[in-house]
Amino acid sequence: MNTFTRLKLYLREYKFMAKGLFWTGHPVLAHIIPMRRCNLACAYCNEYDAVSEPVPLEVMYARLDKLADLGTTAIIISGGEPLLHPDIEKIIKRIRRHGMLACLITNGYLFTEEKIRGLNKAGLEYLQISIDNLVPDEVSKKSLKVLDKKLVWLSQLAKFRVNINSVIGGGVKSPEDALTIGNRAVELGFSTSLGIIHDGLGTLKPLKGVEREVYLKMKTLGKKGHTRFKKFQENLAEGKPNNWRCRAGARYLYICEDGLVHYCSQQRGYPGIPLEQYTPADIRREYLTKKACADYCTIACVHQVATFDNWRDPQTLGVKGAVRRESVQAIQTVYQIES
């Protein structure tokens, strides 16, 4: 990304941040799924299947048009594996046509030099690749050995920002691999981030031993990606709850492949309303609704969006969402023993 392009993106970001601060009636970020199928099968992931067909392009257009009508600032495209969608560049172009920021999360396996140039032409602004280990294993297939050549292509060709994200916890065998991956990302000019694996409800798996050491070292490494945000991760790494106002369903929307609005990928069914029927009244209701899973949530993008409003508008409506309270108690017990 050249200096002029970077400056234009910064100006767009500041404009949208100002909009988020001065108007609470719109989604800041929407996460949309054009393809549930994935070409990989990582053991810790519950956000894919092996059979789904791509969402038809005209259906995707209608959903993006609706999000634009709701005033949405930015769109994250993920899956499954979104690069499996045959019209991914057209989807990105539609996002940019509405003036929304265009972001993509991918496992990176399907990158070619031609695909990178196509994403440049479509107007992609942010890309995140997940790389979890140095060589593939039964837990994660997203390895530096497979993807390094594609990272070099990105460093040479991409006109969008690139972040490399690794995860620890949840059975990842060699958490220290995250440091090697992070150093390689910095060497290539990318930002880095580290995710703490959540359970099936998006709640915490605490860090201990080598995982904790890796987390502390990653905090000081190179350019920082978006998941390193304020005190959220520090508390999660220590098994502590966060005190915040989750605005999922309002400022953050997760739209599944069936077109339903959910709080996030781990809270499907709440509120479960078709996007085409979603209204400003729904946004206001969910803005004021407490979320049962919030204290130990690890969904970084929802944390990030919530910072626009944590200082205002207490949530006065009854608690919604699901949380395994017994797992929270177990987390607290583990932390007390380990520390």
Query: In the chain, where are the structural domains located?
Result: 3-338
Indicate whether 226 pLDDT > 50: no
- pLDDT of 326: 39
**Axis-axis angle for helices 113-122, 144-157 (nearest 10):** 50
Residue 212 pLDDT grade (very low, low, confident, very high; cuts 50, 70, 90)? confident
- pLDDT of 210: 75
- pLDDT of 257: 97
pLDDT tens track for 111-136: 999 999 999 999 999 999 989 889 98
Residue at token pair 């593939």: 136
- pLDDT of 196: 67
Instruction: Tell me which residue of 221, 195, 205 sits closest to 140, measured CA to CA.
Output: 195
Residue 205 pLDDT grade (very low, low, confident, very high; cuts 50, 70, 90)? low
pLDDT tens track for 14-52: 888 899 999 999 999 999 999 999 999 887 788 899 999
pLDDT tens track for 47-102: 899 999 999 999 999 999 999 999 999 999 999 999 999 999 999 999 999 999 99
Q: What pTM does this model have? A: 0.87
Residue 206 pLDDT grade (very low, low, confident, very high; cuts 50, 70, 90)? low
**Separation in Å, CA 70 to CA 59, 104, 131, 275:** 17, 21, 34, 10
Maximum CA pair distance of the chain?
A: 54
90/35 Cα distance (integer angstroms): 14
CATH level 2 (architecture), domain 3-338: Alpha-Beta Barrel (3.20)
First to last CA, the chain: 44
Percent of the chain with pLDDT over 70: 86
Instruction: Tell me which residue of 77, 123, 80 sits closest to 103, measured CA to CA.
Output: 77
